[in-house]
Amino acid sequence: MKARTYALIAAWLVAIIYGVTFTIAKDVMPKYIDAFGFIFLRVGGSMLLFWLCTLFVKTEKIERKDFPRILAAAFFGVAFNMLTFFKGLSYTSPIMGAVLMVTTPMIVLVLSAIIMKERMENRKILGILLGLAGTMTLILYGKSMVNAPNASLGNLLVFVNAVSYGFYLILVKKLMDKYNALSFVKWIYLFGFLMVIPFGWGKFQAVDWGLVPTSAYLKIGFVVVVSTFLTYLLNLLSMRELKPTTVAVFIYLQPLFASIFAIGLGKDSLSWVKIGSAILIFIGVYLVTQKKSNKPQESVSEEQ
């Protein structure tokens, strides 16, 4: 029970950090650095941090047969996922980008039912639908779209990213059950970095770093260290105790926290629509994260 509580706290922290990241990343690109250049910096910096960690934390040797899964996880969870997301975010608004990410729990639920033969409990389906309703209400009535030069393309790319991340959550679960997190994450980021080099190197070189203000450097640092390195570790911690569908539903909280952050900066205002949306989202997350209490203890532990 204690481990599950820590896992849920980790999932909440990830949602808060990601909610803040939408606005922070949007402040940096494409004004100072192109989306693909930012991804090159983000993945490369995180890869170095993960490999540095292995100098202080003992890791296991990965079996050769598991490298195809790691390569697939690197593609869906790092390279393709981040390239489509950041490019999409550079075209659409932060709030809309956050909202479109909520399609991930639906995707993961379906993929889990197909690939992992996970049962689609009525309680989980209701929770996901309530969260979806709250999130769509938040975007449709909560904030006008601003700073979105090509919203249609941006929204499509963010949706493609959500599908990609759904595949990643399914792929990485089996690795989590077999290895210590750092043992395979360092490889996921190494392969992911190699995949993004062809797209990001030229854009990274094109940046005139002398014109980039200190505030932008700090925001880039936040995205690399906190939004990528730290959240990846927290996500893996939560996935050790929770099902992929449970972890995915926390994405519903991202647009909520994105709105709270925007309101705090004076870029948005509070309304009853937003309060109602927030209530629906929280109820949805609650329903999905609660375990059935009427089962024997053995079954409950297997459900985690």
- What are the tens digits of pLDDT across the range 164-176? 887 887 888 788 8
Q: What is the model's pTM? A: 0.73
Q: Looking at residue 169, what is its pLDDT?
A: 79
For residues 53 and 40, what is the distance between their CA atoms, to the nearest angstrom?
20
CA atoms within a 13 Å half-sphere pointing along the CA-CB vector of 244: 29
Q: What is the DSSP letter of 269?
A: -
pLDDT digits (tens, 9 = 90+) for 57-113: 888 999 999 999 999 999 998 999 888 887 887 776 666 666 666 666 666 766 777
pLDDT confidence band for 304 (50 / 70 / 90): very low
Write out the two tokens for 196. Answer: 């993004």
The fraction of the chain above a pLDDT of 90, given in percent, is 23
pLDDT(216) > 60: yes
For residues 219 and 90, what is the distance between their CA atoms, to the nearest angstrom?
15
Domain ranges of the chain: 2-303
For residues 163 and 184, what is the distance between their CA atoms, to the nearest angstrom?
22
Residues in the chain, overall count: 304
pLDDT confidence band for 295 (50 / 70 / 90): very low
Q: Are 129 and 287 in contact (CB under 8 A)?
A: no
